Amino acid sequence: MLKVKNVNDYVKDFQVIEIMSNMNHEQLVFCNDKKTGLKAIIAIHDTTLGPALGGTRMWNYNSSNEAIIDVLRLSRGMTFKAAISGLSLGGGKAVIIGDSSKDKTEALMRKFGEYVNSLGGRYITAEDVGMNTSDMVLVKKETNFVTGLPLDMGGGGNPSPVTAYGVYMGIKASSKYIWGTDNLYSKKVLVQGVGHVGENLVKHLTEEGANVIINDINKSNLKRVSDLYNCKMIESSKVYDLDVDIYSPCALGATINDETIELLKCDIVAGAANNQLKDEKKHSKMLQDKGILYAPDFLINAGGLINVYSEINGYDREKAISQTRKIFDTTLKIFHRSEKENITTHEAAYLLAQERINETKKLKNN
């Protein structure tokens, strides 16, 4: 029997099975193909609720250890995202080691598709950073276990608008909980990052009459979105101390940390970015202590996953949207539970997801 220690102790001498055991992973698949140059890792975290679905990230990792840690961490996150969204899916993810702007070829993507196929449906892929729908079309030539396909191939196309809709639902639920109304008219909202998701979110918010302020490091896109939706823009990255009602991180992770929590003046943090809390436990508690309501990221940004999930049995956009709308009710449920049990909203969300997995495990064992 393996003795489970702190994960960082294993990272030093890189005992992969021990790391997997610590994080409760089921399977890790290493793929190496000399001819195409493919070096990929597929991680299957937990298939209690269904096949492991998660995108493939192509990234120029500095080392294979870095890639392993990334894929293990990301796949685990997918288990909880699927569980809390009520989907019959487990958590998985894949990484391809390489520069997506230089190393991606049809042969490489098809070889990757062969590896996905070899898992017989235990893992279903989709796009993530460094991938797009046309890459998934190449993967599809080798396997049916792929989602994130273009609309004309029966896929759900770009998932970002659905992700944005889910975040909008999460923001409305937060407003309902704090102010007793989900109407965002005249609420001051800072949207940090107006990329694929952020721009769509700005559209929903401005249509409802919210007072939206946007920020992005990409100046030309910032100006374009500001002109299009007639909202104020801030070029400086010093946005954390702005006097707003809602801060919506839609750019990068870890923007909620020791330094920024000090500065925040908002009542609500609710956005699309993955892993917003630098330290989940510590920073969710710090937000709570400061009286700031945090809508858990993996709950409110699940629209994209819901969208690709709906491809599995024949894509139905209306169904995907109506399932994404449920993020509103689940978010409220989490807030009430957090209040009742005196735990952070982040803990409440994890508990709900874990309970769903445990219940199914119990049923399967009977």
Residues at the contact surface with ligand NAD, assessed by CB under 6 A: 159-160, 163, 192-198, 215-218, 221, 237, 250-252, 272-274, 301, 304
How far apart, in whole angstroms, are the C-alpha atoms of residue 22 and residue 24?
A: 6
* Cα dihedral sign, 342-284-357-85: positive
Is the Cβ of residue 142 or residue 216 nearer to ligand NAD in the bound state?
Answer: 216
Min dist CB 162 to ligand NAD, Å, is 7
Angle between helices 133-140 and 106-118 (to 10 degrees): 60
Is the Cβ of residue 85 or residue 143 nearer to ligand NAD in the bound state?
Answer: 85
Smallest CA-to-CA distance from 216 within 184, 172, 250 is with 250
Is the Cβ of residue 51 or residue 193 nearer to ligand NAD in the bound state?
Answer: 193
Is the Cβ of residue 22 or residue 133 nearer to ligand NAD in the bound state?
Answer: 133
Smallest CA-to-CA distance from 25 within 96, 87, 91 is with 91
How far apart, in whole angstroms, are the C-alpha atoms of residue 130 and residue 107?
A: 16
For the CA atoms of 226, 231, 235, 237, the dihedral, rounded to the nearest 10 degrees, stands at: -120
Bridge partners of residue 212, in order along the sequence:
189
Bridge partners of residue 91, in order along the sequence:
46, 53
Q: Which residue is nearest to ligand NAD (CB)?
A: 195
Bridge partners of residue 296, in order along the sequence:
none
Min dist CB 200 to ligand NAD, Å, is 8
Min dist CB 199 to ligand NAD, Å, is 8
Min dist CB 69 to ligand NAD, Å, is 17
Min dist CB 164 to ligand NAD, Å, is 8
Is the Cβ of residue 113 or residue 198 nearer to ligand NAD in the bound state?
Answer: 198
Min dist CB 210 to ligand NAD, Å, is 19
Reading the block at residue 181, the tokens are 């109304």
Query: Could you list the active site residues?
Result: 93
Min dist CB 263 to ligand NAD, Å, is 15
Smallest CA-to-CA distance from 94 within 51, 59, 65, 133 is with 59
Is the Cβ of residue 128 or residue 347 nearer to ligand NAD in the bound state?
Answer: 128
Residues in the chain: 366
Strand order across the beta sheet in which 232-234 lies: 232-234, 211-215, 188-192, 246-249, 268-269, 293-294
Q: By three-state DSSP, how is residue 190 classified?
A: strand
Is the Cβ of residue 127 or residue 208 nearer to ligand NAD in the bound state?
Answer: 127
Cβ atoms of 202 and 364 within 8 Å: the answer is no
Residue 176 CB coordination number (10 Å)? 16
Please, which residues have CB within 8 angstroms of residue 322's CB and are 6 or more apart in sequence? none
